[in-house]
Structures are given as C-alpha cells and as structure tokens.
Chains A and B, each alone.
Chain A
Amino acid sequence: MGDTLLKIEGLNKSFGITHANVNVNLELDRGEIRGLAGENGSGKSTLLSQIAGIYRSDSGKMILNGKEYAPHSPIEANSRKIAMVVQELGMVGSLPASVNIYLGKTKFFVSMKELQQEADKVSKRWDLPKLNLKRMAGSMNIENRKMVELIRALAVDPDVLILDEVTQSLSHDNREIIYKLIRKLKSENRSVILISHDLEETIHITDTISILRDGELLETVKSSELSEDDLKRKMVGRELNGEYYRTDFEEQYEDKVVFSMRHVSTASGIKDVSLELHKGEILAFCGLSDSGIHDIGQIAYGLLPTTEGEVWLETDHIQITKATESLKHRMAYVPKDRDGEAMMMKSTIMNNFVLPSIEEKTGKAGFLNYGVLRRMADENRKAFFLKCTGINQNVNGLSGGNKQKVNLGRWLAKDLSILIVDCPTRGVDVGVKAYIYQCLREAKKKGIGILMITDELSEAMGMADNIMVMKNGELKKTIKRSSHFKEEEIIEVMV
C-alpha cells in the first residue's frame, strides 16, 4: 500500500442552500477497498457523483495517477478509467441490455452481435453470471438490471470502481458474486469505493471506511479496527438540539383515535400495515427511501389505492378511498416533492395558498369572492412571516424555506383534524426548520393528529410521540417517546 491512486483536496459542492460536501479531503490507494458511511443526506452520493463526473465540483481539485482530474462527464471519467454504478436505475428501457452497456460509446455502425459478445466477454472475465443481453433493459427485473449496469461499469476496465448501494436490491447469491468481484478487483490492484446501508457488510468487505457527517469527511479508519456499534456511533454522533425540538420526553396525546389504517396492502409493495393515530399525537414514520414510508402518506390521504385493508377517518366514521373525501373531511397532505408535486411554481403565492381552501370559500351560486381569498392569503402571509414582495409574487421567486412555509401554511390555515406531512423540512434553512417544528407543535396542541413521514432520524426523535420503523414495505417496530430514544435502535431496524 501507500501507492496513492486518487487524491481529493478541498472538494466543495452545494445545491442551493444545502452544502452537500464541505472541504472534503480523501486519498485512495491502489488496490484499496474503501467504504463510505454516513446518515441519509450526509453527502456520500454527492461525493461519489463528483468523482464519477456526474456533478461538477464547486471548488477543490482531484488528482488521479499524479495528473489533474476534473471530469466534465461520466464518459470523460470513463476514459480516465473511473466508472460508477449509480443508485437509481439509469438505463434506457426500450433498448437491449447489450446496447445499454455501450451506449454513448458506439461507433457509427453498430453490430448487435459484436456488442453482445463483447459484453459477454466482460461478464466472463469478471465471473459474473451469464445474462440474456438481447433482452430489452426495461423488461428485466431490478436484480438483472443492476448486473447489466455493473457490466457497463466494468466494460471501462476501471482502475476505480464506484458502487453506490449496489447490494441493496440484490439477493444473497448475487451479493456473494459482488463480494467475489470486489476481491478480484483488489487482487488486480484496482480500487473500489462503495456505499452500503448494510454496515456489517461494509465493515466486512472494505479495507478502510471514511465517515461523513453533514457533508464533511470526519475521519478514515481501518475496517478491521472497527465494530458495527463504533461505526454507528461515529456516523450519528449528532446531539439533539433542544431549541428545535420538543423538550418533553414522554408521549403526550389524548386517548381518542382519530385516524386508523387496518391491515393495508398495496400493489406498490406495502404489506399489512396497521396504525392508530390519536388526537394530538405526532406519529413518525422512519425508514430508507424505498421502505415504503412515502407510500404511507399517499395511502392515508386516499391518493394510492389499497389492494387489501381499510383506511378509516375515525372522527367522521368514514372510510377513505378517494382523495376528494379526505379534502372534504378536514385532512391535509403535504407531499415530499415540493417543487414538482406540491406547488404550482409559476403561479402566485395567493393561488397556491388558497387552493386547498377553495371548497370552503365558495359562496352562493358557486361564486368565488377574490376579495375574501386575497384577504385570507394576505393574513396568512403575515401570520407565517413570509418573506416576499406580496401575495402576487410567484412562488418561483421565494427561497426554499418560504416555499415550504406556503406549502405547509396553506393547510394549517384550515380547520384540520389530520395532517400528513412528508419530509416537512427537506431543503429548508435552519431558521425555517425551527419555525416549522414550532408550527407542528402548535398544531399538536390544537389536537390535530399528525402523521410525520421523515428520512431524518433526529427529526423523528425530536418531535414524535411514537415512531414506526419500516423496511421493505413492512412495519418493523414501534418505539415510544422516552428520554433515552436512541438512533442506533432505529437504524438497526431500518437497515
């Protein structure tokens, strides 16, 4: 060892207000297997994407093999023998797998047979299972598609192979194949950087692990000197900030059940989920992004049809099957995708604000009094301290935090009994974050039942009366609020 292959110095990357990477320094040796560990949003994927040429860094430099390295595109990274398998599925579904492997690098004339043979050669060289590469990528299952992406990366003959959550969607057999592949790469003095939520796996297969927190690289440690518990502690290590969150450490709500789900399953993969939400309770849902937590919000609001089970709004004794009912019966849903789903970005604050209240504000003969609407929007603009030029400003022109205030505020302005929020503090600055928590606390005090779906553990622990942890569409554990809430306890169930 000691033969440095890739050196990263002072790398910075931010998206809007979030600093995804802050002054990251990293050195990777030839033949080294490096793991990256950190919570959701700690900047692992962003760091790898910059190395692989998917994002450009804001500042800092990389040196590969002693030469400056600043890739403009994944193709350029490939030509320097760096290849990455990304977390989301990135393939063109209507083209055969073999074409996908070489897409963007084909010569003018393309021989399908040749591509297939070459891809087969690559997969054989690295002892991967034989796949039918003639098939359309879109018709393959996730597991096989991952393998095809792996072949695409290996076809580059990489010195550095980057794997972002590759094993997550794989079966036991295929995981073993990946482990074998990694060992083989190491034996040929090539390097691997990988991210995995499975900490045991990470420790097991890597030589060293770098730990990231809030975009900063804290330290790099030898895997052999690390236990799983150590790693968790290092990853989390964040203290609960009393200013943001609740200061009490007991669950506090009334006995009355306001909303329930009974043995709900869906076509999207939710299996037998039941829950009871009480008056004035904050019930948090935690899990990885593909665990089905985001589906729960949609099911609860009647946006996602169930295949089995029932959703009941107990306050009104009605079953929720359609979102139109939920709107009518004092429920609210704040989606996760604020810019794409929740807001009409090119429209005014007023239009966005009054949208959920239109039904109540309609007067006789269906008359919509714009005076009333304007007054309502303007009052709430003041109530929620919106920083804007007026209610006729377009939402596009607001900061992330103020957008979220509109998104949440338009529901809180109504008389609610149930509030469903999906990742309420995503992409907002600290000030607004604290304000949103305050709003949620006030809503709780009013007796509103709150279903909070979140991928930030600290948020769930800081705010919730009960936490439900999900994995693979199933409910794994329910944890009550107490002073010794531990992140470790949740992470253990999540991954």
Chain B
Amino acid sequence: MKNQKKVQLLDIVPIFILVIIFAFFAIASKGTTLSAYNLQLICTQVVPVIIGSLGCIFVIALGGTDISIGANAAMCSTVATLLTAGIGGWAAIPVTLVLSTVLGALIGFVVTKFRVASFMTTLAILIAGRGFLNFLLQNNNIGAPKGISFLTTFWFTVVLLVVLIAVVWYIFEYTKFGFYCKCIGENERTVRSVGINVNRIRLICFMIAGLAAGIVGIVQICRVGGSTNTLCNMLEMRVQMAIFLGGILTTGGFTAKIYKLIIGSFTIVIIENGLTLCKVSSALSEAIEGILLVVILIITVYCSRIAMKRDLAMAAQADQESVEA
C-alpha cells in the first residue's frame, strides 16, 4: 500500500467533462467541429488562453485571482507599440513584457501591502486599463509593431507554447516556489508560521501573471494587426473559466495542476467554438457560459466536500479507536 495514490474525484472529472463536451458538439454541429480547418482554429484560439492561464495559475494557487490580465495585455502591448514606433518593432517585445510585469508588481504591492482583496484590485485595474486603452485609441490608429510578424507564424506559436508549458510546469510542480504557492492556498498561516516570506511569494506571483499577460498581448496585437478596443477582450474570463473547468478549486492549494489548466483551456475553447458552430446567438452563449461557470464551481465544491467528509469520518473513527485502546 506504500505510495499508493487514491484517485481524487476532482482529478478525473474535468477529463470526462472535456470528452463529453467535445462529443456533444461534434454531434450537434454534425461533424463540423471535427473538420481539419476547425481543429486548427481551435488550436489557434486555445493559445492565448493557455498562456494566460499559465501565468494566472500561480495567483489562483494562492487562493487569489487576477482578472486584469486581458486589460493588462491589451494596454501594455498598445503602449509599447506607441513608445517604440520610432525605434522599430523589435523593441516592442521587451517593452511590453517589462510594462506588464511592472503592472503585475503594482497589483501585487497593493494586495500584499494594503491588504485589499485581489479581486477588487484587479477589477479596478481592468476598468482603468480598458479606459486607458480607449483613451489611446481615440485619436490614434495603432498598427501592429513592424518586423516581428514571425510571432504569428505557426511554428513560432508551437515553440512558444511548448517552451512556456515546460518552464511553468517545472516551476510550478518541481520547485520550492511552486510548492510554497500551493501551500499558501491550503493555509497561509501555516506557511507564515514555518517562517517563509509569504508576501514576497505573493508579489512574484502577480508579476508572473503580468508577464504572461504581456506575452499574450504582444502576440495578439501582431495577430490582429493592430490595437483595437476589443483586443484580448474577455481573456480574463476565459482564463478563469479554463482554470475552474479544469477542476481547480477557487481556494487554490494542491488541487492546482498544470495538466488541469490545459484540459480546461481546451474545454472552454471547444465550448465557445461549438456554440458558434451551432449558430447560438452571442447573448445565449454568454448565458450558457455563465450558468456553466456556476455549475462547474458547484460541482468542484461538492467534490471537495465529499472528500472532506470522508476524511472527517475517518478522523472521528481514529479518535474513537485511540480512546478505546
């Protein structure tokens, strides 16, 4: 029985959900979902979601949230494009990444130093960022940075995605930083009392989320061919849904795993893609996604509660036995 791992409900349910949803839309769309063109489309659409989730997973593991990444991505890439217009497209890449990381650090600073809930802070940044983007677009027509169109090529995308997944997988699953992140989500007081600098870890997590937003931003601005009001719109919601659809609890902790995030990303993209293929109106798809989000959360909370009840029953029995012994 050594090292025998019990399969947790939360670890497998998301895979079933993905399979069922994929099968459902394959049938409902009369096979259009399975066409080569559509499969390629799904793969293109899933890229920004996966990259965004890879950044966000650290903050989610802490039990916090970052819903500013869409606005962060759009704003920072646009500002960087404007700033580097005279220098050349290449410069836009580092400038975007630096800007978005700094913005992430700013959020982290407000959350750790002033103890404002991360949801509130990032929501305010979301509104502020979108407003600032509209302000920039008011009088300017901003095209994509020149000379870096390779960012949109298929091969680059594949390489970028693979490298990012590999790096984040390593950091999140196989370093002490990732381990501490998950511990903080489980019980922040424990990590503090052991003597680990929780504030520093939290700050870095928000910086990582910012950095990922920057990567998405620069890729998307090139893909779209310029900045628009809707650049990376709803990215933050897709990322949240991807992560929760993957079976990660909102409280974070050790339920957070990279493979779940990838499964969840595909699930949400397939849902959106399938709804479009089935010619469901945008309003109805929004409603479906909203209900889905709530239902998924109820399922994950329910699964984790079953597990906890089982544990507590075992504990009560163990206590009883120790008294009788």
Direct contact of A and B (CB under 8 A): yes
Bitwise interface map of B from 117 to 159 toward A, beta carbon under 8 Å scored 1, else 0: 0000000000000000000000000000000000000000000
Cross-interface CB contact of A340 among B183, B189, B319, B321, cutoff 8 Å:
B189
Check if A236 is an interface residue, CB within 8 A of chain B.
Answer: no
Known contacts: A324-B196, A397-B318. The answer to whether A341 contacts B312 by CB under 8 A is: no
Cross-interface CB contact of A301 among B1, B195, B310, B315, cutoff 8 Å:
B195
Please state if B6 and A327 are interface contacts (CB–CB under 8 Å). Answer: no
Please state if A390 and B195 are interface contacts (CB–CB under 8 Å). Answer: no
Across the A-B interface, how many residue pairs have beta carbons closer than 8 Å? 133
Check if B298 is an interface residue, CB within 8 A of chain A.
Answer: no
Bitwise interface map of B from 192 to 218 toward A, beta carbon under 8 Å scored 1, else 0: 111111000000000000000000000
Q: How many residues of A contact B (CB 8 A)?
A: 52
Cross-interface CB contact of A344 among B176, B186, B308, cutoff 8 Å:
B186
Please state if A359 and B323 are interface contacts (CB–CB under 8 Å). Answer: no
Give the CA-CA distance A466 to B6 in the complex, in Å. 47
Q: Which residue of B lies closest to A323 (CB)?
A: B195
Within residues 386 to 418 of chain A, which ones have a CB less than 8 A from any CB in chain B? 387, 389-392, 394, 396-402
Which residues of chain A are within 8 angstroms of B280 by Cβ–Cβ distance?
none
Please state if B176 and A362 are interface contacts (CB–CB under 8 Å). Answer: yes
Please state if A366 and B177 are interface contacts (CB–CB under 8 Å). Answer: yes
Within residues 97 to 119 of chain B, which ones have a CB less than 8 A from any CB in chain A? none
Please state if A344 and B187 are interface contacts (CB–CB under 8 Å). Answer: yes
Give the CA-CA distance A391 to B304 in the complex, in Å. 19
Cross-interface CB contact of B6 among A325, A392, A398, A399, cutoff 8 Å:
A392
Bitwise interface map of B from 173 to 195 toward A, beta carbon under 8 Å scored 1, else 0: 01111011011001101111111
Please state if A344 and B183 are interface contacts (CB–CB under 8 Å). Answer: yes
Please state if B325 and A341 are interface contacts (CB–CB under 8 Å). Answer: no
Give the CA-CA distance A325 to B191 in the complex, in Å. 14
Which residues of chain B are within 8 angstroms of A347 by Cβ–Cβ distance?
183, 186, 253-254
Within residues 364 to 380 of chain A, which ones have a CB less than 8 A from any CB in chain B? 366-368, 370, 374, 378
Q: How far is the CB of A40 from chain B (nearest CB, A)?
A: 21
Which residues of chain B are within 8 angstroms of A323 by Cβ–Cβ distance?
192-196
* Max chain B Cβ within 10 angstroms of own Cβ: one of A335, A346, A351, A398: A346
Q: How far is the CB of A9 from chain B (nearest CB, A)?
A: 24
Check if A302 is an interface residue, CB within 8 A of chain B.
Answer: yes
Please state if B310 and A397 are interface contacts (CB–CB under 8 Å). Answer: yes
Q: How far is the CB of A356 from chain B (nearest CB, A)?
A: 5
Within residues 291 to 323 of chain A, which ones have a CB less than 8 A from any CB in chain B? 301-303, 322-323
Which residues of chain A are within 8 angstroms of B286 by Cβ–Cβ distance?
none
Check if A37 is an interface residue, CB within 8 A of chain B.
Answer: no
Check if B281 is an interface residue, CB within 8 A of chain A.
Answer: no
Check if A16 is an interface residue, CB within 8 A of chain B.
Answer: yes
Please state if A398 and B3 are interface contacts (CB–CB under 8 Å). Answer: no
Which residues of chain B are within 8 angstroms of A303 by Cβ–Cβ distance?
192-193, 195
Q: Which residue of A lies closest to B3 (CB)?
A: A374
Please state if B193 and A341 are interface contacts (CB–CB under 8 Å). Answer: yes
Cross-interface CB contact of A17 among B6, B190, B319, cutoff 8 Å:
B319
Cross-interface CB contact of A429 among B197, B308, B322, cutoff 8 Å:
B322
Q: How far is the CB of B38 from chain A (nearest CB, A)?
A: 39
Q: How many residues of B contact A (CB 8 A)?
A: 44
Which residues of chain A are within 8 angstroms of B176 by Cβ–Cβ distance?
358-359, 362, 366, 368
B contact patch SS: helix
Which residues of chain A are within 8 angstroms of B196 by Cβ–Cβ distance?
323-324, 327
Please state if B311 and A356 are interface contacts (CB–CB under 8 Å). Answer: no
Please state if A342 and B5 are interface contacts (CB–CB under 8 Å). Answer: no
Please state if A326 and B195 are interface contacts (CB–CB under 8 Å). Answer: yes
Check if A431 is an interface residue, CB within 8 A of chain B.
Answer: yes
Q: How far is the CB of A203 from chain B (nearest CB, A)?
A: 36
Check if A210 is an interface residue, CB within 8 A of chain B.
Answer: no
Q: How far is the CB of B18 from chain A (nearest CB, A)?
A: 25
Check if B279 is an interface residue, CB within 8 A of chain A.
Answer: no
Bitwise interface map of B from 22 to 37 toward A, beta carbon under 8 Å scored 1, else 0: 0000000000000000
Check if B314 is an interface residue, CB within 8 A of chain A.
Answer: yes
Please state if B195 and A324 are interface contacts (CB–CB under 8 Å). Answer: yes
Which residues of chain A are within 8 angstroms of B179 by Cβ–Cβ distance?
358, 368
Q: How far is the CB of A95 from chain B (nearest CB, A)?
A: 24
Check if B306 is an interface residue, CB within 8 A of chain A.
Answer: no
Q: How far is the CB of A398 from chain B (nearest CB, A)?
A: 6
Check if A437 is an interface residue, CB within 8 A of chain B.
Answer: no
Q: How far is the CB of A58 from chain B (nearest CB, A)?
A: 14
Give the CA-CA distance A396 to B325 in the complex, in Å. 21
Please state if A429 and B4 are interface contacts (CB–CB under 8 Å). Answer: no
Q: How far is the CB of B169 from chain A (nearest CB, A)?
A: 13
Give the CA-CA distance A262 to B253 in the complex, in Å. 39
Please state if A345 and B187 are interface contacts (CB–CB under 8 Å). Answer: yes
Give the CA-CA distance A328 to B191 in the complex, in Å. 14
Please state if B308 and A16 are interface contacts (CB–CB under 8 Å). Answer: no
Check if A493 is an interface residue, CB within 8 A of chain B.
Answer: no
Known: A346-B311, A366-B175, A400-B315. 6 other contacts (CB 8 A): A303-B192, A323-B196, A342-B190, A344-B190, A368-B179, A390-B1
Interface of B toward A, CB cutoff 8 Å: 1-6, 171, 174-177, 179-180, 182-183, 186-187, 189-197, 253-254, 304, 307-308, 310-312, 314-316, 318-323, 325
Interface of A toward B, CB cutoff 8 Å: 16-17, 301-303, 322-328, 331, 333, 335, 340-348, 351, 355-356, 358-359, 362, 366-368, 370, 374, 378, 387, 389-392, 394, 396-402, 429, 431-432
Of all A-B residue pairs in the complex, the 7 with the closest CB atoms, nearest first, are A327-B195, A323-B195, A399-B318, A396-B311, A344-B186, A397-B311, A397-B314
